[in-house]
Amino acid sequence: MHVPQVRVRTVLWALVIIAVMVGSAQAADRFVSTTGTDSSNDCLTSASPCLTIGYGLAQAASGDSVKVAGGTYLEHIVIGPPATTLTISGGWTADFGSRDPAANTTTLDGGRALYPVLLVQAPGISVDLAIDGVTIQRGNSYDLMGGAQDGGGIRALSAGSGELTLSLIDSILSKNVAAAGGAIFADSYDGSTLALSLTRVTLSKNIGRGVGGAIGAYAFDGSHLSLTLTACTLSKNKALADSVEGGGAIAASAVTGNLNLNLSLDRTVFVKNISSQGNGGALYAANFNLTAVNTTFVKNRARRFGGAVYGWVYGFGSSASMRLTNCTMTENASGLRGGGVAVYDTTLDLTNNIIWRNRAREDSPDLYASAVGGTSTHNDNPDLASGIPGITDGGGNIAADPAFGSPPHNLHLRAGSPCIDTGTCTGAPTTDIDGDPRPTGASCDMGADEFVP
């Protein structure tokens, strides 16, 4: 029986924990700027902002929004009891007259210290935190001398009857390092609930010294955990674990065998992520439900199985399911089998997918499947996937040359592509990865892109 390497760790924080006050007063805006001051300041006036995000959060009541002007903030922040609903909003001008996160970059910098940049915890309480327009970088929770922790950029934890909702919007997480989950590590315990959602977030060049180069998501003890990515980009993240785990970009598992781990990918791009010693160049998952729609996997690599995606079941009477709809998977590579997808005892539903020109050193360059409840089989052509026990061919799958514009950089379909109007509209999304309507022709196209003449 395999047990994940991720362990429950007691974190001793040499920091002042932010006690966010809960009051009945109307929600307010708090203001933070690199030119502000924390001394005797309630952060309520834009003309007199506070100096640090942590202090601004400490002044906030539940329902408040902390508005942060562009600049770099070298901080480590802890958010926890009592129950709280908060928003951290970056990208504001110095006078807080307007907001543009691209022009006024708000950066929360961990300075490579041995703590996550942000710790969010819900031990038996309800916490709802939204982070909008913030760059989180240089968090380092990994120490070669034995002080390894999880989540270099963000550590999110729920326990007991806790309910933690963490939303990231229009943000960037880059160059963070941890034992697991280089950018984000989310774990839930004891029947708690944790919902982590990312919308238009870029995660790049993060490192998981163990598993999950960018994100680690683990559900323990019958808890519920959901991970939702919408219109995100995960690139050049790396997991270094020498094990059956991995996950160059994402590692996720329901450890105690419940099927309360739900993963959702929509219009998301995985490119050049690496599981240097393990499985799943882009994604490793165990005991899970995964739905991926309009998602592309390009040039990801795994040392073992599943150059792009690896899914499996271990022990505890567990099960797992993976549904891929209108996804594009090309030029991924594995050192053993399944250059595109490798699954073990996992039900796999394929509809309108392009799985083409992936590579595997042993065999099955595009798709490898070990039959649910049966012997190992493999198949390089998803067109024939219905012949493998546990795999459902929903139609519209292809493993032939789809005639991309200019792979791997341009995966839009060219005129005359065999993928145009040859997919099925049954179960297909109504738009494509670019937001173009689907279908635009006689029928729906295969892959993440809908051809627009």
Residue-wise pLDDT for 326-343, tens only, equals: 999 999 999 998 999 999
Q: What are phi and psi of 56, to 5 degrees?
A: -60, -40
pTM strictly above 0.75:
yes
Q: What is the pLDDT of residue 182?
A: 97
For range 10-29, the mean pLDDT: 49
Confidence of residue 244 (pLDDT cuts 50, 70, 90): confident
Confidence of residue 374 (pLDDT cuts 50, 70, 90): very low
In the predicted model, is pLDDT for residue 198 greater than 80?
yes
Mean pLDDT lowest for which of 197-206, 255-264, 287-296? 255-264
Question: How does pLDDT run across 81-114, given as a tens digit for each residue?
Answer: 776 899 999 999 999 999 999 999 999 999 988 8
User: What percentage of the chain has pLDDT greater than the value 70?
Assistant: 87
Please give the residue that has the higher pLDDT: either 373 or 57.
57
Contact 429, 293 (CB under 8 A): yes
Contact 32, 69 (CB under 8 A): yes
Using alpha carbons, select from 319, 201, 193, 314 the residue that is nearest to residue 250. Answer: 201
Distance in angstroms (rounded) separating the CA atoms of residues 324 and 264: 10
Using alpha carbons, select from 321, 323, 217, 229 the residue that is nearest to residue 270. Answer: 229
Residue type, 28: A
Q: Using only C-alpha atoms, what is the Rg of the chain?
A: 22
> How many of the other CB atoms lie within 10 Å of CB of 231?
16
Phi-psi region of 122 (alpha: psi -120 to 50; beta: other; left: phi over 0): beta
Strands 404-406 and 410-413: antiparallel
Q: What is the pLDDT of residue 417?
A: 95
In the predicted model, is pLDDT for residue 389 greater than 70?
no
Mean pLDDT of the chain: 88
Contact 216, 185 (CB under 8 A): yes
Distance in angstroms (rounded) separating the CA atoms of residues 281 and 390: 23
Using alpha carbons, select from 300, 302, 219 the residue that is nearest to residue 263. Answer: 219
Contact 367, 355 (CB under 8 A): yes
Please identify which residue in the block is written with the tokens 């012949």.
387
Confidence of residue 221 (pLDDT cuts 50, 70, 90): confident
Using alpha carbons, select from 420, 426, 417 the residue that is nearest to residue 441. Answer: 420
Please identify which residue in the block is written with the tokens 């880059």.
174
Distance in angstroms (rounded) separating the CA atoms of residues 223 and 400: 42
Residue type, 112: R
